[in-house]
Structure 1
Amino acid sequence: MEDIALCGVSACLVVIVGEKKRKRKRWWCRKLFGEGPRFGVELLNKLRMNDAMGFRNFTRLTPIDFEELLLMVGGQITKEDTKFRETIPASLRLAITLRFLASGDSYTSLMYTFRISKQAISRIVPEVCEAIISALKQYVKTPSSEAEWRTVVHGFETGWNFPHCLGSIDGKHVQMVAPDRSGSLYYNYKGTFSIVLLGVADANYNFLYADVGCQGRISDGGVFKYTSLYNNLENKSAHVPKCEALPGRTEPVPYILVGDDAFAMSTYLLKPYPGCALDIPKRVFNYRLSRARRIIENVFGIMSSKFRVFLKPMALQPCKVECVVLSCVYLHNYLRKNSVSRQNYTPPGTLDSYDADGNVIEGSWRRDINERDRLLDLMAIPRRASANVHNIRDEFCSYFVSQQGAVSWQYDNIRHVVQ
């Protein structure tokens, strides 16, 4: 009996000691958050009703686009009120996420903007980004038939004077804060930590394909090889048109992507001739290829200037960085394919253009962000290609200086070729 009594006393002592060690909360709710979500809702309403331009600058969407997007994602991000507190409305959740994407501000900074705790914001942003990706899936679609690919090809041939082009491809390093215990897994050649965004764009500055998540340390030749698009092209299951001769020519050539020196040249991907001491036909080819390849460069530039979360290292886990990047890709296409919002998202003068003589007129996005703020390019590594691949490039080169393929202004502008 004495032993039992002693055990009971010990148990009581343990409970008492445990209660003493328990840290008391300083407050149930900080005074800053006393208004709850009402402050953020009122802020949105004031901007929507009295300052449409301010609302667009705040969220990167017009009020109409915001309401349309809210209808698409609202069902996935709406929460129910509890007995303890009212929930944060779906409209405010969407606005917080869009402001994060538009500014790249920290969660602490957003906490003071919206009067909502950073712990809540840290849950809201990934959830809403996932909802955006799910709701806007139809806006980023890789062609799945020969007819769809031919539509893309027609856009490059008529708009950029480059036939047989399936798209413009490029990759960028998206910087982030080094993840805990990741070692050199995400360490890239520029000395920063990143994941890679690989994109293919059509002639209208829309993403046809995007792959996010390859670690920054992966060799640049391997980035493309880790994608599903590469596997489909290698296995000939991408449903691209079969080899055909260029207009006015007899030698069949395949349909190709255009890229830079970061990629290995193949039968479905062409890049410029290397070196500076090139003859005129090769310089013309490089110039014509560069005109088509600038599409994807503009896409990345526009996205970085509008969604400035890309201009700062993201202090998020890699899986959440992937989610943020993909949501921006889908939002870009959503705003580009909507005829009304396109005017607000990319007004005249935003994109690179060419005058009647073929001279480049740089878009305003290049002035909106500094050179040091742009997404990092993939590292260019010289690679040898097979003789057959070189023959394909030579056929395009010959076509561009032939009577059928030449354009009047190309010889006056070959000095602008981007190597």
Structure 2
Amino acid sequence: MNEISRLIRIIKIINIMCVMVKMYLLVRQRLKRRWWVRPVNLTRQRLGFHETCFAQLKLNDKEDFFKATRMSVTKFNVLLTLLREKLQRFSRREPINEEIRLGITLTYLSQGCSPQFLAWTHKIGVSTIRNIIYETCDAIWSELHSVYVSPPNEREWKDIADRFYVKTGMPHCLGAIDGKHIRIVCPKRSGSLYYNYKKTFSIVLMAMCDPDYSFVFVDVGALGSQSDGGIFARSAFGNMILRNNLELPPADNLPGTNTRFQYYFVGDNAFPLKPNLMRPYPGRNLSTAKQNFNKKLSSARVHIENAFGILANRWRILHTTIHAAPKNLDKIVLATVVLHNYLMLDRNSGYFDPNLVDHVENGVFTPGTWRQTSTGMTSIRISQANRSTAEAFQARDELAEHLLNN
């Protein structure tokens, strides 16, 4: 018994010594610092970017304010009101207020500038800038995604299908699906997990959009090294599509016929053919019906390309190679998606420009202006194996015949 009590006493002494060593190292590290706050940062309240430039843009230069934040002053104020409680901080020293936090984050996302540059201009420590960006991006997603990126109900699904039919002639189409690689700096100790077929490091943004270029479902964070079929199958909505677990409208008559046909999504050759997921016919020298089907499907599928184009054009952080930990990468990308949907709802806000997307003008096809510059996001690679059922092939053939005859 005495030996046990002696052993317990020794363990306690060791624990106390460990705590003392940690405290000594912490104090020593702090003493090594030349200053607690850099002298130049002490002038932030008088000479910082927010006080000298951002506030002036907000009051007097609406055009440059839009370039800096991708939104009007009104939309900025509404967004600030929605996020204020989440961004509020309390400290013995005067904390950085909510407007500065949101302004820093929007500038970072819209311009793709480095946190170090923002630290110099705002006269704030670079580690503080990074924390502000990650915390604000997380607040944007957690507070707003349930409103602006929420799954549609049955009535909303049917409304999406009707709008797709009016714009493209594809009946019962619920959305266009695609995935993009977003370049990143290789995370520490990750090996080749994020190394993709383009010989860069990336994470994958898988998304589906409606005919108005707003995102309906998004999934981000898949490793760049994964096969594209695996990425889709492991994504939340991809898994629901493949297992037919989405609450979609029941099969209905195709327009002008008594033929019942289920609702479906469209994608390119990277995706498997399923009864609820249409992809183009492969090969050349196709029949008239198949060529017509591919043309119609392409007119619907191009909406997701344009949605990604608008996203990357407005939030130019996606043009760059993002340097952040994987958990923070997800926050950054998801924040851009929520902001995209938030601003797309108001077509008069200036965020959406019809010239940005592919359109037909006086009978002439005009590619969107986003195609004139590289978005920095590459498409997922065509999968080599797509096993499909006879039911899926039959459904595609049936739809192709309907499109040809109507």
User: In 1, distance between residues paired with 2:126 and 2:200?
Assistant: 26
**Match 2:100 to one of 86, 92, 97:** 92
1:382-401 pair list within 5 angstroms: 382=384, 383-401=386-404
**Match 2:337 to one of 323, 329, 333:** 329
Tell me what 2:11 maps to: none
**Match 2:353 to one of 347, 351, 355:** 347
Once the 2 structures are TM-superposed, how far is the Cα of residue 232 of structure 1 from its aligned partner?
3.1
For structure 1, the 5+ residue unaligned runs are: 1-10, 406-419
Classify the secondary structure of the residue corresponding to 2:275: coil
**Match 1:143 to one of 149, 152, 164:** 152
Classify the secondary structure of the residue corresponding to 1:130: helix
- The amino acid that maps onto 1:366 is R
Tell me what 2:175 maps to: 167
1:264-283 pair list within 5 angstroms: 264-283=272-291
1:209-251 per-position Cα deviation (integer Å, ceiling 9, x unaligned) = 1111111111111112112323433444422122234223444
**Match 2:379 to one of 369, 377, 380:** 377
Once the 2 structures are TM-superposed, how far is the Cα of residue 40 of structure 1 from its aligned partner?
3.1
Alignment size in residue pairs: 380
1:54-203 pair list within 5 angstroms: 54-82=64-92, 85-137=93-145, 138-144=147-153, 146-203=154-211
- The amino acid that maps onto 1:346 is F
Does the aligned pair in 1 maintain the 2:149–2:217 contact within 8 Å? yes
In angstroms, what is the RMSD of aligned CA positions? 2.1
Does the aligned pair in 2 maintain the 1:103–1:307 contact within 8 Å? yes
Once the 2 structures are TM-superposed, how far is the Cα of residue 330 of structure 1 from its aligned partner?
0.3
Identity %: 36
Change in Cα spacing, 1:87 to 1:240, as seen in structure 2 (3 Å) is same
Once the 2 structures are TM-superposed, how far is the Cα of residue 311 of structure 1 from its aligned partner?
0.8
1:365-398 per-position Cα deviation (integer Å, ceiling 9, x unaligned) = 222x23xx43110000242322221111111211
Tell me what 2:371 maps to: 366
User: In 2, distance between residues paired with 1:108 and 1:22?
Assistant: 22
Normalized against structure 1, the TM-score is what? 0.86
Does the aligned pair in 1 maintain the 2:320–2:376 contact within 8 Å? no
Classify the secondary structure of the residue corresponding to 1:191: coil
Classify the secondary structure of the residue corresponding to 2:139: helix
Normalized against structure 2, the TM-score is what? 0.88
User: In 2, distance between residues paired with 1:37 and 1:128?
Assistant: 21
Once the 2 structures are TM-superposed, how far is the Cα of residue 346 of structure 1 from its aligned partner?
1.2
**Match 1:318 to one of 318, 326, 329:** 326
Does the aligned pair in 2 maintain the 1:173–1:216 contact within 8 Å? yes
Does the aligned pair in 2 maintain the 1:37–1:89 contact within 8 Å? no
- The amino acid that maps onto 2:177 is I
1:236-267 per-position Cα deviation (integer Å, ceiling 9, x unaligned) = 44221222342234443221100001111111
- The amino acid that maps onto 1:365 is W
**Match 2:228 to one of 215, 220, 230:** 220
User: In 2, distance between residues paired with 1:66 and 1:329?
Assistant: 16
User: In 2, distance between residues paired with 1:20 and 1:303?
Assistant: 47
Tell me what 1:3 maps to: none
- The amino acid that maps onto 1:41 is H
Once the 2 structures are TM-superposed, how far is the Cα of residue 177 of structure 1 from its aligned partner?
0.5
Change in Cα spacing, 1:24 to 1:227, as seen in structure 2 (3 Å) is closer
Does the aligned pair in 1 maintain the 2:183–2:376 contact within 8 Å? no
